[in-house]
Structure formats: C-alpha cells, structure tokens
C-alpha cells in the first residue's frame, strides 16, 4: 500500500509559528496524554506509531504542542475562522490522560487495548467519549459543565462540581463519587455501550459550534492502494 499525504511535518514543527502543521510522527517515548482546548473534534485510535493528522481546518490557526508526555491542541489563534470545523485524528499505542476545556470533543474509537490507569477531565463544557477503552483505574472529573462517557474495569473515582454528567459502563468493584452544586454520576445502559453517543444523548445531535463549511481539499489526507 502506498501512503500519500498532504501537509505532513515532523513534531518539532508543531509550534504556533508553523505555517501548516498537519501531521507528525513522534518517538517511542512520546506523549501519553491529550488535551484539547477551545473546541474542535479529536478522534483517538490505537496504533503502534504515534501520529497526529489534521483532517479538516486550518492547522496554522491551532497550535499543536508536544509538552513531553502530553500533546496539547490549543485554542484558536487570532484571525482564525471559527466557522471552519477543526478535526484531528491521533494514533497512539497508549493513553494515560484525556482533557477537554472550553468546549470540544475527544472520542476514542476502534479496538483500543485496556489501559492500567486513565485520568479524564472536562471543564467549562465539552465531552470525552472513551467507552472504547477499558481503564483499570479511572479518575473522572467534570467542572462547570461537560460530559464523560467511560468504561472502568476495577475502580472509578468520579467528581463533579457546578454541573456535569459522568456516565460509566461495566462492573467496577469500587465506585466513589462526589457531586457539588449540581451534576450526576450514573451507570449507562448496556444497550448503549456500543452505540454512537449521539444515538442515546440527543443533546449531542447538534454540535455547540457555528455551522461547518466544507474542508479545504488540500488539507485532507488520503490513502490509496
């Protein structure tokens, strides 16, 4: 198979001043956590080699930084267009943390191996859907609104302050929760575990963002035989 891609740069180029940081391959140590700030959609899949690919949107408008064990997708920079959707696909062999702040969505899709411990947090709006990943020990926190959908195996420590929702699946032996000033920690229905999140949560049918415009064709990554 021949891989043909547009706008691919090494990780060192993923700096705010870079003109078009669209994809990257990282070293074997690499990031273990992902943080999304200020909107957009991040899809995370399992793979042996770490890669980051901008699927739609202007990569120059959203800095993507390597901060050691954490990959940060930052807020929209001045003069960027909020009308254009920003979508990123991340391939990684492991995950220890996911975070969303000020809107946006992180989705873990596909067959991701179980991870021993994962921390997930949402603040000031946004969603993390990590049902595809079984976490041995899960720490989940929502502050000032947001959603987390998760599948802990052994333990779940959940906390909510000032509104939010944490829904979990599975038979974790230990579940502890703290809710202050609104919010809920609930067990999800078995029938919803494999369904698209929009199918059982009507609030996610319409993204909290302006209408999308068609992506620039040159920014798309294609795989051809």
Same domain, 30 and 87: yes
- Whole-angstrom distance, CA of residue 72 vs CA of residue 32: 11
Is 133 within a domain?
yes
Same domain, 70 and 115: no
Is 105 within a domain?
yes
Mark which of 61, 94, 127 sits at the end of a domain: 94
Same domain, 184 and 104: yes
DSSP per residue, 64-105: EEE-SSEEEE-PPPTT--TTS--EEEEEES--SEEEEESS-E
Same domain, 53 and 145: no
| Residue of 141, 149, 152, 161 whose CA lies nearest to 200 | 149
Is 124 within a domain?
yes
Is 160 within a domain?
yes
Signed CA dihedral, 109, 103, 195, 150: sign only? positive
- Whole-angstrom distance, CA of residue 22 vs CA of residue 24: 7
Same domain, 52 and 1: yes
Q: H/E element holding 153?
A: strand 147-161
Residue 152's CATH number: 2.160.20.120
Same domain, 86 and 101: no
What's the pTM value of the predicted model, to 2 decimals? Answer: 0.79
Same domain, 129 and 147: yes
Same domain, 86 and 130: no
Same domain, 16 and 73: yes
Same domain, 28 and 120: no
188-197 contacts, C-beta under 8 A, 24 or more apart = 188/149, 193/131, 193/151, 193/169, 194/131, 197/107, 197/127, 197/129, 197/131, 197/149
Mark which of 55, 75, 94 sits at the end of a domain: 94
Length of the chain: 225
At 59, is the secondary structure helix, strand, or coil? helix
- Tell me: the pLDDT tens digits for 91-142? 999 999 999 999 999 999 999 999 999 999 999 999 999 999 999 999 999 9
Same domain, 13 and 72: yes
Is 223 within a domain?
no
- Tell me: the pLDDT tens digits for 142-153? 999 999 999 999
Mark which of 41, 61, 94 sits at the end of a domain: 94
Give 187-210 as a 3 state SS string: ECCHHHCCCCHHHHCHHHCCCCCC
Mean pLDDT calculated for residue range 25-30: 52
Tell how strand 70-73 and strand 2-4 pair up.
Answer: unpaired
Is 6 within a domain?
yes
Same domain, 6 and 31: yes
Is 207 within a domain?
no
Give 9-39 as a 3 state SS string: CCHHHCCCCCCCCCEEECCCCCCCEEEEECC
- Tell me: the pLDDT tens digits for 30-64? 899 999 999 999 999 999 999 999 998 887 888 89
What are the angstrom distances between the C-alpha of 64 and each of 20, 24, 79, 139, 182?
11, 10, 17, 25, 33
Domain membership of residue 163 as a residue range? 97-198
Residues 6+ apart with CB under 8 A from 35: 70, 71, 72, 73, 97, 98, 99, 100, 101
Total count of domains within the chain: 2
């Amino acid at each position: 198979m021949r891989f043909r891609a547009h706008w691919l740069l090494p990780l060192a180029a993923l700096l705010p001043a870079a003109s078009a940081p669209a994809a990257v391959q990282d070293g074997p140590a690499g990031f273990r956590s992902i943080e999304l700030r200020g909107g957009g959609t991040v899809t995370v899949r399992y793979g042996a080699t770490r890669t980051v690919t901008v699927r739609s949107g202007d990569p120059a408008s959203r800095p993507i930084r390597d901060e050691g064990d954490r990959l940060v997708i930052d807020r929209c920079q001045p003069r960027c267009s909020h009308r254009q959707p920003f979508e990123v696909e991340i391939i990684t062999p492991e995950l220890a943390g996911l975070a969303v702040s000020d809107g946006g969505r992180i989705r873990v899709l596909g067959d991701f191996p179980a991870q021993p411990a994962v921390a997930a947090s949402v603040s000031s709006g946004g969603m993390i859907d990590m049902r595809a990943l079984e976490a041995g020990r899960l720490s989940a926190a929502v502050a000032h609104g947001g959603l987390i959908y998760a599948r802990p195996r052994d333990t779940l420590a959940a906390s909510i302050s000032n509104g939010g929702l944490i829904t979990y699946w599975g038979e974790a032996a230990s579940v502890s929760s703290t809710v202050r000033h609104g919010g809920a920690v609930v067990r999800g229905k078995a029938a919803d575990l494999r369904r698209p999140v929009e199918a059982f949560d009507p609030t996610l049918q319409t993204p909290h963002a302006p209408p999308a415009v068609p992506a620039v064709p040159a920014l798309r990554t294609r795989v051809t035989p």
